[in-house]
């Protein structure tokens, strides 16, 4: 009697093994199909296994994590490639415009014998101005490239903003007077020390003030405020100009981004000043933001640790 029972048990065991083998084959074929779909470019596919086999489930989970990583890397690469193309297009545009104008005036000076002395002098002034525009663009571009490839740490030390900010503002007084813009300064009387790099801070303040003067002069006021709050020092540079459109605001710190308003030839900057400012602030351990209510107030704010 025991012999038939043993045979039945062995047969049942064999059927269980065979069933598991069939299920394993089925899940492996699903793995192969999913892998094939992913290999052909469908990065939204994921491995979904229905099996009690723990190692196989763990394999599926690891493969899903690998696909997540590949998808994020692919999206990042696509984003960087799109940004590179846009950056090259903007550089080409911003180089071509002043260069074409400069060459046009130089050609006129060379070939037009009817120009008066006053006209020649005016053409030369314009050509020099266009050359300066080109030089500024190239200097900003190479400075940003240098900053992004230079791993050297900034020289962080206590910097007194109550002294540094007025020193930077002095350089802007001729431009402020020329454009009839009133500077509004709100600084504490006592020393306001931050942990920063003096050269970096000068460049950040220069870039933010230049930006406000270029785009906000029509508002008649440009201001700078410094205050301490919760262990950090906040610096705000503001103006009452036309402001930044809502669709442009998330992109203003991107390389060479210039919104539609700044495509006015008389206003257009290099598009790199704000990117450089952001890079410098972050290298000092701070954070920079922007907010704008058009025709009311546009504010660029950055913070650094109090020293």
Q: 46-50, 73-77, 173-177, 268-272 — which is least confidently predicted? A: 268-272
CB 169 within 8 A of CB 175: no
For tokens 């300066």, what's the residue? 132
pLDDT digits (tens, 9 = 90+) for 188-231: 888 999 999 998 999 999 999 988 998 888 899 999 999 998 88
- Interval 42-58 mean pLDDT: 79
- Interval 180-193 mean pLDDT: 90
Task: Report the percentage of the chain scoring pLDDT > 70.
Answer: 88
Checking if the pLDDT of 17 tops 80, the result is no
pLDDT digits (tens, 9 = 90+) for 83-142: 777 767 767 777 777 788 888 888 888 888 888 888 889 888 888 888 887 887 777 777
Checking if the pLDDT of 21 tops 90, the result is no
- Interval 239-254 mean pLDDT: 86
Q: How far is CA 69 from the centre of its chain?
A: 23
Does residue 296 or residue 269 have the better pLDDT?
Answer: 296
- Interval 11-27 mean pLDDT: 74
Taking the C-alpha atoms of residue 67 and residue 59, their distance in angstroms, rounded to an integer, is: 12
Taking the C-alpha atoms of residue 66 and residue 31, their distance in angstroms, rounded to an integer, is: 14
CB 280 within 8 A of CB 237: no
pLDDT digits (tens, 9 = 90+) for 52-93: 778 878 888 888 888 888 888 888 888 778 777 776 776 777
Q: How far is CA 22 from the centre of its chain?
A: 53
Exposure string (b/e) for 174-205, b if CB count within 10 Å is 16 or more? eebeeeebeeeeebeeeebbbbbbeebbbbbb
Taking only Cα atoms into account, the Rg of the chain, rounded to an integer number of angstroms, comes to 31
Q: What angle do CA 77, 81, 85 make, to 5 degrees?
A: 170
Q: What angle do CA 39, 53, 19 make, to 5 degrees?
A: 100
How many CB atoms lie under 10 A from the CB of residue 98? 21
């Amino acid at each position: 009697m025991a012999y038939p029972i043993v045979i039945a048990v062995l047969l049942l065991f064999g059927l269980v093994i065979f069933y598991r083998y069939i299920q394993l084959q089925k899940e492996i074929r699903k793995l192969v199909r999913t892998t094939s779909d992913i290999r052909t470019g469908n990065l939204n596919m994921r491995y979904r296994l229905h099996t009690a086999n723990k190692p196989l489930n763990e394999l599926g989970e690891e493969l899903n994590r690998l696909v997540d990583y590949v998808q994020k890397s692919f999206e990042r690469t696509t984003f960087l490639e799109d940004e590179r193309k846009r950056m090259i297009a903007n550089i080409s545009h911003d180089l071509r415009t002043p260069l074409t104008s400069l060459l046009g005036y130089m050609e006129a000076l060379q070939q037009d014998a009817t120009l008066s002395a006053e006209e020649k002098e005016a053409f030369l002034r314009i050509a020099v101005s266009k050359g300066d525009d080109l030089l500024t663009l190239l200097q900003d571009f190479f400075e940003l490239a240098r900053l992004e490839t230079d791993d050297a740490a900034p020289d962080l030390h206590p910097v007194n903003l109550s002294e540094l900010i007025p020193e930077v503002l002095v350089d802007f007084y001729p431009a402020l007077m020329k454009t009839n813009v009133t500077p509004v300064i709100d600084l504490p009387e006592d020393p306001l020390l931050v942990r920063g790099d003096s050269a970096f801070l000068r460049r950040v303040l220069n870039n933010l003030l230049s930006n406000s003067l270029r785009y906000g002069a029509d508002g008649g006021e440009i201001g700078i405020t410094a205050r301490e709050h919760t262990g950090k020092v906040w610096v705000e540079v503001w103006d009452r100009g036309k402001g930044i459109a809502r669709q442009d605001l998330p992109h203003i710190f991107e390389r060479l981004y210039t919104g539609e308003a700044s495509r006015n030839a008389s206003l257009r900057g290099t598009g790199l000043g704000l990117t450089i400012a952001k890079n410098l602030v972050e290298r000092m351990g701070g954070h920079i933001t922007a907010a704008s209510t058009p025709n009311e107030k546009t504010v660029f704010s950055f913070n650094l640790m109090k020293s």
